[in-house]
């Protein structure tokens, strides 16, 4: 029996039905997986400066920036250390900055900003900061390394991720963002670029003011990877225990160290520009806390 030809309108409807049926059957294979905000199911490959936003609940968000794998020179040159001494420091404070090549074979997410008082309060239920006048969007401080470990533990339990503090190598790699100068801005620093005691600038940086307080995160220009406040505002705890740098090249250093004191990095509002250098290292006991010491979190991709 010969089929009766369909009219133009009916033919178009039949074609649309056929296309929809094919999409229904195979569309799940053809569509790119959508990100749910959970790194365990996000199968896309991050690119440099990509960002990820995590909901901490109650409208509080945590933003992270992707730091790709790569190789960099960690530490400072002797010329940089001599300049630090000329600015009033003591050479013994900088002897642990021996330059060496470091290769990070895996990328990682790092907090776009220092963890804020608002974020800490959302996760921990209280605000331990000593500088509350700066507001809830200023970095949390007065938290010990042990306190930060508790924060990370709670964050992991509620979010199902693998948060941790960054290693010292990851921190400096992210701070530099491809630079080899004293700061990611260059070899000069003044109070128009970061929150520190501006009466002690670095290099040709102009003498500025000393705010005597933390400020809202993101108040200054970010580095090339979109990370804010890597210099100044508050020091930032790292995962590592302090130890001497190796003399040769290393790959993915774990940073176990040889002391009982974790490392902190980045300078703070209370000290001058020299302490804000990308290579500057500090350390203290894991139970100590100060109103100039905070942190930012790292997030390892789930394998």
3 shares its domain with 69: no
Domain that holds residue 13: 1-31
6 shares its domain with 52: no
91 shares its domain with 204: yes
21 shares its domain with 61: no
17 shares its domain with 146: no
pLDDT tens-digit series, residues 56-112: 999 999 999 999 999 999 999 999 999 999 988 889 889 999 999 999 999 999 999
155 shares its domain with 26: no
Asked whether the whole model's pTM tops 0.75, one would answer: yes
- pLDDT value at position 159? 62
Using the 8-state DSSP alphabet, how is residue 207 labeled? P
147 shares its domain with 164: yes
CATH value at residue 279: 3.90.1580.10
Percent of the chain with pLDDT over 90: 73
- pLDDT value at position 5? 43
What's the rounded mean pLDDT across residues 135-143?
A: 98
94 shares its domain with 164: yes
167 shares its domain with 67: yes
For residues 207 and 191, what is the distance between their CA atoms, to the nearest angstrom? 8
Q: Which of 104-118, 215-229, 249-263 has the lowest mean pLDDT?
A: 249-263
154 shares its domain with 69: yes
pLDDT tens-digit series, residues 257-280: 667 999 999 999 999 999 999 999
- pLDDT value at position 204? 93
3 shares its domain with 44: no
Residue 66 burial (CB count, 10 A): 20
- Assign 247 a pLDDT band (cuts: 50, 70, 90): confident
Nearest to 64 by CA among 33, 38, 32: 38
For residues 64 and 30, what is the distance between their CA atoms, to the nearest angstrom? 29
Helix axes 145-159, 117-124, angle to 10 degrees: 60
Q: Where are the beta strands (DSSP E) in the chain?
A: 51-57, 60-67, 70-74, 100-104, 108-111, 163-164, 235-241, 250-251, 262-265, 282-283, 293-294, 298-299
In whole angstroms, what separates CA 56 from the centre of its chain? 17
Q: How many domains does the chain have?
A: 2
Measured on CA atoms in the order 291, 261, 182, 166, is the torsion positive or negative? negative
190 shares its domain with 150: yes
For residues 194 and 220, what is the distance between their CA atoms, to the nearest angstrom? 6
SS3 state at 265: strand
What's the rounded mean pLDDT across residues 274-296?
A: 97
- pLDDT value at position 300? 79
């Amino acid at each position: 029996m010969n089929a009766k030809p369909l009219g133009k309108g009916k033919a178009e409807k039949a074609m649309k039905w056929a296309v929809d049926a094919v999409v229904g059957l195979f569309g799940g294979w053809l569509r790119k997986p959508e990100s749910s905000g959970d790194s365990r199911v996000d199968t896309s490959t991050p690119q440099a400066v990509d960002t990820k936003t995590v909901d901490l609940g109650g409208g509080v968000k945590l933003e992270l920036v992707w730091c790709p794998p790569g190789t960099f020179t960690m530490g400072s040159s002797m010329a940089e250390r001599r300049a630090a001494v000329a600015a009033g420091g003591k050479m013994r404070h900088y002897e642990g900055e021996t330059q060496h090549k470091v290769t990070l074979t895996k990328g990682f997410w790092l907090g776009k900003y220092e963890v804020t008082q608002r974020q800490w309060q959302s996760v921990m239920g209280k605000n331990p900061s000593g500088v509350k006048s700066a507001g809830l969007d200023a970095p949390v401080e007065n938290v010990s390394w042990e306190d930060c470990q508790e924060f990370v533990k709670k964050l992991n339990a509620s979010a199902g991720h693998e948060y941790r503090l960054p290693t010292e190598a990851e921190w400096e790699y992210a701070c530099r963002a491809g630079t080899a100068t004293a700061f990611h801005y260059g070899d000069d620093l003044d109070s128009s670029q970061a929150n520190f005691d501006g009466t002690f600038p670095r290099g040709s940086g102009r003498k500025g003011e000393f705010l005597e307080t933390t400020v809202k995160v993101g108040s200054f220009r970010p580095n090339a990877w979109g990370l804010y406040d890597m210099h100044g505002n508050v020091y930032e705890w790292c995962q590592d225990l302090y130890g001497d740098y190796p003399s040769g090249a290393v790959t993915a250093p774990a940073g176990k160290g040889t002391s009982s004191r974790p490392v902190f990095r980045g300078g703070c509002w209370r000290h001058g520009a020299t302490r804000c250098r990308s290579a500057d290292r500090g350390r203290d006991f894991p139970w100590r806390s100060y109103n100039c010491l905070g942190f930012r979190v790292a997030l390892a991709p789930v394998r």
